[in-house]
Each structure stands twice: as structure tokens, then as C-alpha cells.
């Protein structure tokens, strides 16, 4: 029988990539390297999907499940299409184009019509592979490892996953990548690395584990994270727990911007409500750059707009951004009592220090 899809000529690739492709293709079952034939039998739809995906890898493209049809609760047909089949990215939120289009982003959508089906036929008593549309509107990808569906075909991928699993929760992603490079293993990607806990079937993460993962990810991105804890006590006054009341974070770039545009000038602060499942207000601090545009200075999840929370935020700004320069001269905010109380307390402290300094200058100690 004639192949469904004629073989395509290989593209010019680097010797290193060619060696990886040859090794990956050689690791595939021999039957999966050949183009499928019309009405080719298969043991199951899962086996057919693996077989077709392997063949697609050798041809420089990838397949995705587009639709499935059921009959009496059983799947009887599955359509597979080229990963470039859509004309545009899915818009499940029904957003306007000007709200959903992001600058300098790319999608795989290319309007490719290639499609192939896996059918269950009662007469044959099994699954068959049948063609639907066999034409691509794009050239084969010379590096099919770029497709998410084929990334696990990289040589030593299983070894890299095993190493990543042992590193997870022990070292950060940057250190993990450095170890992989020294070992000659491929990178698995930041998202896979931080999702290994779920992928390995360990169940839903606890809140403590989720917090540790988030903090590790922020640390990898040079984001400074600070917390304000409060301790709980038992009936005898002994500490028996710790509760995080405020969570502050500020990136290295934000620190540089604050030192340049907020120092000796002003920032504006306000909080949003009911924007997360924990119902924690998000305090947002913004400054103004030399073009008259606002930019985010820092963020902080707070349990309430209390004086303690605003004092904590001010302390972190002074420690991270204004340790070697003037702090803000003006704070623009609403009439939150906590903000007013925090500013009053700081002014009192500064006034007291000023008086002490003046007295020391007038009447220096013996």
C-alpha cells in the first residue's frame, strides 16, 4: 500500500543537532519511522497516537488531538491535526483583539490543514488509521525538538528528568541547569522543573509547599521577597505557631528605578481587594519616570491596611532601595488610617533623632 504522506527532504542542521536527531529517530520502533498506510490497523487509539506522533517527529512536525467522537460512552473516532492547524490563538475569555494581543509574542497558529484520523470500525473489530487531509502549508521544522510534544525524545531526557526530580526542592533552577550542563544533559525547562511535584503523581501541594515553590521561583528571577510574621502563643504564653501577615517583593530592576525616580521625590500607593482566593489586599506602589509614565515600584500582600503593614513596607523600601540615597519625600495615598499612623510614627522618630543630633552638636559630650 502507498504511504499516506510522502517523505520530505531533510533540512540543513548543525552537526550537533543532526546527531541528536539521528539518535532520537534510531530509538524509535522501526514501524514508527515509516509513514502510515491507509486503513493501517492498530491495537488502540493510544498506540496509534504514539505511532503517528513518532512518525510526525521524523517528518519535522507534531500532532495534537483536535476532536473526538463518542458512541454509547465509548470513543469511536479521534481527529489529529498538525500543531500549526489554528488560524489564531484560542480566545476562551472572549477578549477584544487590542486587549489580548501582546507585543513580541508568537503562536504556532498557521492555518495548516493537515489532518489524520483514528477510527474504530465494528466490521474490522478494531482501530484503523485513515487520512483526512494530507497537505501542509509550511515547511518541516528542521528542529522538531522545539515542539512540546517531542521534547521528551531528546537523548538523555529521562536522565535529565531523574536529576531534576532529585534537585527539586533542594536547589534553585539556575543551579540545576548548571549541573545539567556539566553532566551533558538537556535542560527540561523552568515550568517542568517547578511542576515535577504534580507530574510525579504526588498529589496536590500543601500551601506551605506552594509557598516554598513560589519563593524559589522568585529568587531565581532576582526578586527580593520579605515577610512580616506574627507568632501565636498558647495559654501559657509559649509560641506555638507563626502566621505570615504581609508578603513584600521587589525586583532588582524595580530597585534601580526607585533609586533613580522615587528617591527625593514621591510614590503613590493603593490596595486592590478580592483579586485572589485568599482575599488578601494587594498593596501596589508606583512611581513616575522621567517620561511621565508610572511604573511599579513594589508589591505587598497585606492582611489589612494597618500601621504595622505600612511600616513594614516602608522598612523594606528603605532597606532595599534607599539604603544609600534619600527616600521618598511625598507619599500619595487615600485616607487609610494605617498609612497616616505609620507616617506620623516615622515623622516622630525622625523628629526625635533630629533633636538628639542638634543637642549633640550644641552640647557635645565630654
Q: 170 with 197: CB under 8 angstroms?
A: no
pLDDT score of 6: 40
Share of the chain above pLDDT 70, in %: 83
Model confidence band, residue 205 (pLDDT cutoffs 50, 70, 90)? low
Among 275, 314, 276, smallest CA distance to 297 is for 314
pLDDT score of 8: 42
Strand residue runs (E) in the chain: 40-42, 63-71, 74-82, 115-121, 126-133, 223-233, 239-251, 266-272, 282-288, 294-302, 330-332
Kindly state the cell numbers that stand for 272: 486592590
Pairing of strands 266-272, 330-332: parallel
Model confidence band, residue 2 (pLDDT cutoffs 50, 70, 90)? very low
DSSP letter at 262 equals T
CA 217, CA 135: separation in Å to the nearest integer? 42
Task: Kindly state the average pLDDT of the residues 250-267.
Answer: 94
pLDDT score of 96: 67
| SS3 of residue 218 by DSSP | helix
Q: Give me the residue spans of the domains in the chain.
A: 15-89+106-153, 157-218, 223-362
pLDDT higher than threshold 80 for residue 204: no
Cα Dmax for the chain: 108
pLDDT higher than threshold 90 for residue 348: no
107 versus 313: which is more confidently predicted?
Answer: 313
Strand order of the β-sheet with 294-302 is: 223-233, 239-251, 294-302, 282-288, 266-272, 330-332
pLDDT score of 353: 63
Instruction: Please state which of the ranges 41-50, 84-93, 125-134 shows the lowest mean pLDDT.
Output: 84-93
DSSP letter at 34 equals S
Model confidence band, residue 266 (pLDDT cutoffs 50, 70, 90)? very high
pLDDT score of 1: 34
pLDDT score of 290: 92
Instruction: Please state which of the ranges 5-19, 42-56, 65-79, 299-313 shows the lowest mean pLDDT.
Output: 5-19
Task: Kindly state the average pLDDT of the residues 295-322.
Answer: 92
Q: 302 with 338: CB under 8 angstroms?
A: no
CA 328, CA 306: separation in Å to the nearest integer? 20
Dump pLDDT digits (tens) for 90-134.
666 666 665 555 555 566 777 888 999 999 888 777 899 998 888
CA 312, CA 301: separation in Å to the nearest integer? 11
CA 19, CA 23: separation in Å to the nearest integer? 6
Dump pLDDT digits (tens) for 145-200.
888 889 889 888 888 888 887 776 667 778 888 888 888 888 888 777 777 755 55
DSSP letter at 3 equals B
Q: With 0-12 CB in 10 A as exposed, 13-18 as middle and 19+ as buried, what is 5?
A: middle
CA 193, CA 215: separation in Å to the nearest integer? 14
Among 6, 128, 108, smallest CA distance to 55 is for 6
Task: Kindly state the average pLDDT of the residues 25-50.
Answer: 91
Taking CB atoms within 8 Å and a gap of at least 24, the contacts of 338-341 are 338/304, 338/305, 338/306, 338/307, 338/308, 338/309, 338/310, 339/269, 339/305, 339/307, 339/310, 341/307, 341/310
Task: Kindly state the average pLDDT of the residues 233-259.
Answer: 89
pLDDT score of 234: 84
Q: Which residues sit opposite 210 in a β-bridge? A: none
DSSP letter at 27 equals T
pLDDT higher than threshold 60 for residue 213: yes
Amino acid at each position: 500500500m502507498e504511504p499516506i504522506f510522502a517523505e520530505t527532504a531533510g533540512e540543513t542542521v548543525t552537526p550537533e543537532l543532526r546527531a541528536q536527531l539521528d539518535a532520537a529517530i534510531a530509538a524509535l520502533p522501526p514501524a514508527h519511522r515509516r509513514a502510515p498506510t491507509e486503513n493501517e490497523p492498530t491495537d488502540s487509539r493510544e498506540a496509534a497516537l504514539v505511532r503517528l506522533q513518532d512518525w510526525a517527529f521524523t517528518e519535522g512536525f507534531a500532532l495534537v488531538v483536535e476532536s473526538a467522537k463518542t458512541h454509547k460512552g465509548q470513543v469511536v473516532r479521534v481527529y489529529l491535526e498538525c500543531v500549526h492547524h489554528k488560524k489564531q490563538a484560542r480566545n476562551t475569555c472572549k477578549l477584544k483583539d487590542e486587549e489580548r494581543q501582546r507585543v513580541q509574542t508568537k503562536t504556532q497558529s498557521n492555518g495548516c490543514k493537515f489532518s489524520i484520523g483514528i477510527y474504530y470500525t465494528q466490521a474490522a473489530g478494531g482501530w484503523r488509521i485513515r487520512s483526512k487531509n494530507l497537505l501542509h502549508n509550511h515547511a518541516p521544522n528542521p528542529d522538531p525538538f522545539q515542539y512540546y510534544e517531542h521534547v521528551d525524545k531528546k537523548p538523555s531526557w529521562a536522565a535529565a528528568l531523574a536529576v531534576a526530580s532529585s534537585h527539586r526542592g533542594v536547589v534553585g533552577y539556575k543551579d540545576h541547569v548548571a549541573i545539567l550542563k556539566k553532566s551533558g544533559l538537556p535542560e527540561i525547562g523552568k515550568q517542568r522543573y517547578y511542576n515535577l511535584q504534580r507530574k510525579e503523581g504526588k498529589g496536590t501541594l500543601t500551601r506551605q509547599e506552594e509557598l516554598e515553590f513560589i519563593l524559589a521561583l522568585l529568587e531565581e528571577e532576582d526578586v527580593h521577597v520579605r515577610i512580616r510574621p506574627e507568632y501565636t502563643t498558647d495559654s501559657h504564653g509559649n509560641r506555638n505557631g507563626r502566621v505570615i501577615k504581609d508578603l513584600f517583593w521587589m525586583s532588582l530592576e524595580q530597585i534601580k528605578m526607585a533609586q533613580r525616580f522615587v528617591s527625593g521625590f514621591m510614590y503613590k500607593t493603593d490596595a486592590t481587594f478580592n483579586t485572589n482566593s485568599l482575599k488578601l489586599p494587594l498593596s501596589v506602589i508606583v512611581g513616575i519616570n522621567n517620561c511621565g509614565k508610572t511604573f511599579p515600584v513594589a508589591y505587598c500582600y497585606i492582611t489589612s491596611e494597618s500601621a504595622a503593614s505600612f511600616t513594614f513596607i516602608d522598612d523594606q523600601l528603605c532597606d532595599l532601595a534607599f539604603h544609600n540615597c534619600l527616600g521618598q519625600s511625598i507619599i500619595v495615598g487615600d485616607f487609610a488610617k494605617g498609612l497616616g499612623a505609620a507616617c506620623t510614627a516615622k515623622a516622630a522618630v525622625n523628629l526625635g533623632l533630629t533633636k538628639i543630633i542638634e543637642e549633640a552638636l550644641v552640647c557635645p559630650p565630654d
